[in-house]
């Protein structure tokens, strides 16, 4: 199982740093709040989420009219001078690049220091021997900044943009390793042509000599089960060994292959040639992940687990565990999951085969359990306290595909995601999503089984992956508990 991610599910654009024996890793979060999930590890192969960097509205404002797959792009995490530094792009209107800092990676993190002189996306931070802070951006350009004030210390200058003609040189990271400064970039676009290339020079601002064996990582044109590999970040272990974290996808089904979990975080060892160039090895398997453990939330705590994410914001007026102890209360603001201001709270789908269930009381409204990719691509099972229905939204088509009367009161709604039935052919989708009701004895009553390809990036576009969770469409909805577990 060497092709498994170390952080499965929608966790793209990884950036990593080491402090002593501890490793910390962050990922992009796009339109979801809180933003930038933060993980801790002692050995790179087992990661546990310890928080979110942007967990306060003052740090992260995502307007309701911002399209899905907008928002927070490509953070870089570094440790320098006793402090953690994170630089990132908010692609929402009125956003831009900014810095936050903390002495404790678990938080709290500072208010943003905005960088009005830093254009573009995918900013990186590196300090040279005289203390100059260099910010390198997609394109690839670079300028010196004062990280405390956010002001530039010079103009943007072009560096090295990868292979001639290769599109989208992005995700730059600059490192001092031995006698050289190495500039690592992604190129080829974040789809099937994605890859990682590297160049080096004797100065942090070049000139840069490209590696003769570029790209140092790509799975383009291969039958490897992990595709779209790119957007990497190097880290050195305490024993002197080197590693690369990077994103990839695991497409399934027939042609062209559909990836549904989003871009995930993978790990590979790095060795160095006699000439001082990195060689990326095969993907290594994780030593178990926190994601493999079944998750249950009875909503007994005043604060939600850090793995819960909401669309664009999370107002206590619309989402709280404090109104009724042991219950999650959701108050509708839109009319359905089709609306950009939908009240939704979910967790990333992290397994190809899994199930999620929740006890929903919608006697004062309507709401339920959904598998969401974006406003135009989701499946949901919804109740109003007397009737359950399955709703499919694919592109411009929204339909109630099945209904079932139920006894008045709360209902246990369930989603089961499984491989497609055999036989397979070129048109077979990646999975099927069954939505139904669980009876008191645990029996699952299926209302509908839908093709999973329509909740994939290859159909919907964008940069995210599936999120499974709870929502309110009308009035007030309560959830007594929620479970998610891989199904073996």
Quote the percentage of the chain above a pLDDT of 90: 93
Determine how β-strand 113-114 pairs with β-strand 96-102. antiparallel
What is the 8-class DSSP label of residue 7?
B
Identify the bridge partners of residue 297 per DSSP, sorted by sequence position: 482
- Residues 311-328, mean pLDDT to the nearest whole number: 94
Report pLDDT digits (tens) over 69-112.
Answer: 999 999 999 999 999 999 999 998 778 999 999 999 999 999 99
Reading the block at residue 300, the tokens are: 């007994």
Give the model's pLDDT for residue 488.
63
Tell me the pLDDT of the chain averaged across its residues. Answer: 96
Higher per-residue pLDDT: 40 or 3? 40
Give the model's pLDDT for residue 23.
98
Which residue in 13, 297, 375, 384 is the catalytic one?
Answer: 13
Burial code of 320-359, b = ≥16 C-beta within 10 A, e = fewer? bbeeeeebbbbbbbbebbeebebbbbbbbbbbbebbbbbb
Check the CA dihedral 202-207-213-218 and report its sign: positive
Peptide bond between residue 236 and the one before it cis (omega within 30 degrees of 0): no
Give the model's pLDDT for residue 2.
60
Examine the residue annotation and report whether 13 is marked as an active-site residue of this protein. Answer: yes
Report pLDDT digits (tens) over 127-183.
Answer: 999 999 999 999 999 999 999 999 999 999 999 999 999 999 999 999 999 999 999
Determine how β-strand 22-26 pairs with β-strand 328-331. unpaired
Range 110-116, long-range pairs (CB < 8 A, 24+ positions) = 111/58, 111/59, 112/59, 113/147, 113/148, 113/149, 113/150, 114/150, 115/87, 115/145, 115/150, 116/150
d(CA 358, CA 395): 27
d(CA 173, CA 175): 7
Burial code of 423-438, b = ≥16 C-beta within 10 A, e = fewer? eeeeebbbbbbbbbbb
Is residue 382 within a helix (H) or strand (E), and if so which, with residue range? strand 377-383
What domains can you pick out in the chain, each with its CATH number? 15-280 (2.115.10.20), 293-486 (2.60.120.200)
Give the chain's length. Answer: 488
Tell me if 273 sits within 8 A of 279, measured CB to CB: yes
Give the model's pLDDT for residue 94.
77
Higher per-residue pLDDT: 460 or 422? 460
The pTM of the whole model exceeds 0.85: yes
pLDDT at 335 over 70: yes
Tell me if 73 sits within 8 A of 54, measured CB to CB: no
Burial code of 136-164, b = ≥16 C-beta within 10 A, e = fewer? bbbbbbbbbbebeebebeeebeebbbbee
Tell me if 184 sits within 8 A of 198, measured CB to CB: yes
Tell me if 70 sits within 8 A of 60, measured CB to CB: no
Report pLDDT digits (tens) over 260-279.
Answer: 999 999 999 999 999 999 99
Question: By three-state DSSP, how is residue 67 classified?
Answer: coil
Tell me if 213 sits within 8 A of 142, measured CB to CB: no
Give the model's pLDDT for residue 93.
75
DSSP tally for the chain: helices H, then strands E: 1, 35
Higher per-residue pLDDT: 250 or 302? 250
Report pLDDT digits (tens) over 179-236.
Answer: 999 999 999 999 999 999 999 999 999 999 999 999 999 999 999 999 999 999 999 9
Which residue in 170, 374, 375, 384 is the catalytic one?
Answer: 170
Report pLDDT digits (tens) over 382-439.
Answer: 999 999 999 999 999 999 999 999 989 999 999 999 999 887 899 999 999 999 999 8
**Sequence-distant (≥ 6) Cβ neighbours of residue 177 within 8 angstroms:** none
Q: What is the largest CA-CA distance in the chain?
A: 73
Give the model's pLDDT for residue 331.
98
The number of C-alpha atoms within 13 Å of 301 and in the hemisphere containing its C-beta is 6
Give the model's pLDDT for residue 1.
45
Residue whose C-alpha is closest to residue 186's, from 134, 144, 146, 136: 136
Site of tokens 């740090």 = 59
């Amino acid at each position: 199982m060497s092709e498994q991610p170390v952080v499965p599910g929608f966790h793209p654009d990884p950036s990593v740093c080491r402090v002593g024996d501890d490793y910390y890793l962050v990922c992009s979060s796009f339109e979801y709040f809180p933003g930038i999930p933060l993980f801790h590890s002692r050995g790179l192969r087992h990661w546990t989420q310890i928080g979110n960097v942007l967990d306060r509205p003052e740090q992260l404002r995502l307007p309701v009219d911002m399209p899905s797959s907008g928002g927070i792009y490509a953070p870089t995490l570094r440790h320098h001078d006793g402090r953690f530094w994170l630089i990132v792009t908010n692609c929402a209107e009125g956003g831009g690049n900014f810095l936050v800092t903390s002495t404790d990676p678990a938080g709290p993190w500072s208010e943003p220091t905005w960088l009005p002189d830093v254009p573009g996306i995918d900013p990186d931070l590196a300090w040279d021997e005289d203390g100059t802070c260099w910010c390198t951006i997609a394109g690839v350009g670079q300028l010196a900044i004062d990280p405390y004030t956010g002001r530039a210390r010079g103009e943007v200058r072009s560096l090295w943009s990868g292979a001639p003609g290769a599109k989208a040189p992005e995700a730059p990271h600059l490192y001092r390793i031995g006698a050289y400064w190495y500039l690592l970039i992604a190129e080829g676009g974040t789809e099937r042509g994605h890859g990682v290339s590297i160049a080096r020079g004797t100065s942090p601002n070049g000139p840069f000599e490209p590696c003769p064996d570029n790209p140092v990582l790509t799975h383009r044109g291969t039958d490897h089960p992990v595709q779209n590999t790119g957007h990497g970040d190097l880290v050195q272990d305490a024993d002197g060994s080197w590693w690369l974290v990077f994103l990839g996808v695991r497409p399934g089904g027939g042609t062209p292959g559909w990836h549904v979990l989003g871009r995930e975080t993978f790990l590979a060892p790095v060795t160095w040639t006699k000439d001082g160039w990195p060689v990326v090895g095969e993907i290594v398997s994780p030593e178990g992940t926190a994601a493999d453990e079944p998750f249950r939330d009875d909503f007994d705590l005043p604060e939600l687990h850090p793995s819960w994410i909401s669309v664009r914001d999370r107002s206590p007026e619309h989402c709280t565990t404090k109104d009724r102890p042991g219950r999650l209360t959701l108050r509708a603001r839109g009319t359905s999951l089709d609306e950009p201001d939908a009240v939704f709270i979910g967790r990333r789908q992290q397994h190809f085969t899994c199930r999620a269930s929740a006890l929903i009381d919608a006697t004062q409204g309507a709401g339920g359990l959904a598998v969401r990719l974006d406003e135009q691509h989701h499946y949901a099972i919804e109740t109003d306290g007397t009737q359950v229905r399955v709703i499919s939204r694919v592109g411009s088509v929204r339909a109630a595909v099945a209904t079932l009367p139920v006894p008045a009161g709360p209902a246990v709604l369930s989603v089961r995601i499984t491989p497609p039935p055999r036989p397979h052919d070129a048109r077979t989708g990646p999975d099927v999503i069954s939505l139904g009701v669980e009876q008191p004895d645990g029996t699952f009553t299926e209302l509908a089984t839908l093709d999973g390809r329509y909740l994939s990036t290859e159909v919907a576009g964008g940069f995210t992956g599936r999120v499974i969770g709870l929502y309110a469409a009308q009035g007030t909805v309560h959830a007594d508990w929620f479970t998610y577990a891989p199904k073996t």
